[in-house]
């Protein structure tokens, strides 16, 4: 009986490889992180006289020490001068030149909260360039620098990311999920980024890829809202999103993406070659 049970467990792990990942809980929100063999963990606590900000970053690396994915969160409690802190972060996220979330035209999904400060934001970006030229939150800038200098992990030129943000009263909470997409074939072809919202409809394979990332981000954001008691139904009612399917379903769908997009691209190239012949 024990042998049979062991075989069943082994088969289950093979069929469901994501179960090997660890999980943390932050303010009740469940976050998957890589297992220890593939994990780089960074943390920083910023003790100010008027606030405490805790930042933790979990970076998944490949076997050949390349950046694969990352998740980080910032959890802040402001003890006084709330208005000043809110004003700084409003500039950092939305108002400043080169602010993280200020140019809506760059985003594949932009759901700012109808009430309050926050929302869900999905975009492709050059992570390396942003961290070096535009990142003004010194704690994060330092952590990206440590990743490169201490751990020899180069930041990708192209990632897709989702930012989940909320500030309520004296509490700021921010979770970001990042996926490296440098490995995808020719998505910068002819200087036209295939994930750019202005171009993506011309590239159905890449649109499907992004739609799956958006659906996964929406499912994560619904849990984010529920645990933080945010009353905003934009994510739940987003077009073509099935709120009856859970995050594991959307994660599984997204994880199928890479093989499909590479195969489809190879087929497309083969068709072009045949046509030219």
Summarised one tens digit per residue, pLDDT across range 112-132 is 999 889 999 999 999 999 999
Span 80-117, pLDDT tens digits = 999 999 999 999 999 999 999 999 999 999 999 998 89
pLDDT of residue 259: 64
Is residue 258 predicted with pLDDT exceeding 90?
Answer: no
Confidence of residue 49 (pLDDT cuts 50, 70, 90): very high
**Three-state secondary structure of the chain:** CHHHHHHHHHHHHHHCHHHHCEEEEECCEEEEECCHHHEEEEEEEEECCCEEEEEEEEEEECCCCCEEEEEEEEEEEECCCHHHHHHHHHHHHHHCCCCCCCCHHHEEEEEECCCCEEEEEEEEECHHHHHHHCCCCHHHHHHHHHHHHCCCCCCCCCEEEEEEEEEECCEEEEEEEEEECCCCCCCCHHHCCCCCCCCHHHCHHHHHHHHHHHHHHHHHHHHHHHHHCCCCCCCCCCCCCCCCCCHHHHHHHHHCHHHHHHHHHHHHHHHHHHHHC
Tell me which of 42 and 188 has the higher pLDDT.
Answer: 42
Does the pLDDT at position 264 exceed 90? no
Q: What is the mean pLDDT of residues 64-77?
A: 96
């Amino acid at each position: 009986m024990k042998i049979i049970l062991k075989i069943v467990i082994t088969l289950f792990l093979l069929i469901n490889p994501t179960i090997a990942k660890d999980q943390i809980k932050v303010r009740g929100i469940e976050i998957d992180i890589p297992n220890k063999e593939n994990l780089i963990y960074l943390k920083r606590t910023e003790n100010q006289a008027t606030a405490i900000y805790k930042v933790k970053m979990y970076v998944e690396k490949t076997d050949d020490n390349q950046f694969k994915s990352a998740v980080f969160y910032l959890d802040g409690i402001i003890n006084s001068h709330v208005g000043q802190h809110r004003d700084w972060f409003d500039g950092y996220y939305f108002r400043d030149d080169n602010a993280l979330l200020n140019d809506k035209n760059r985003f594949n999904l932009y759901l700012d909260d109808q009430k309050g400060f926050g929302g869900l934001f999905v975009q492709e970006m050059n992570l390396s360039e942003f961290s070096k030229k535009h990142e003004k939150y010194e704690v994060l800038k330092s952590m990206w620098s440590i990743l490169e200098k201490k751990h020899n992990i180069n930041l990708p030129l192209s990632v897709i990311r989702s930012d989940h943000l909320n500030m309520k009263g004296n509490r700021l909470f921010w979770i970001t999920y990042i996926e490296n997409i440098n490995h995808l074939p020719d998505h910068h072809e002819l200087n036209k980024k295939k994930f750019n919202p202005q171009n993506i409809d011309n590239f159905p394979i890449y649109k499907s890829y992004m739609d799956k990332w958006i659906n996964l981000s929406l499912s994560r954001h619904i849990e984010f809202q529920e645990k933080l008691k945010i009353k905003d139904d934009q994510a739940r009612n987003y077009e073509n999103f099935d709120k009856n399917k859970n995050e594991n379903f959307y994660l599984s769908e997204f994880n199928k993406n890479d093989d499909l997009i590479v195969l489809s691209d190879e087929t497309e190239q083969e068709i072009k070659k045949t046509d030219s012949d």
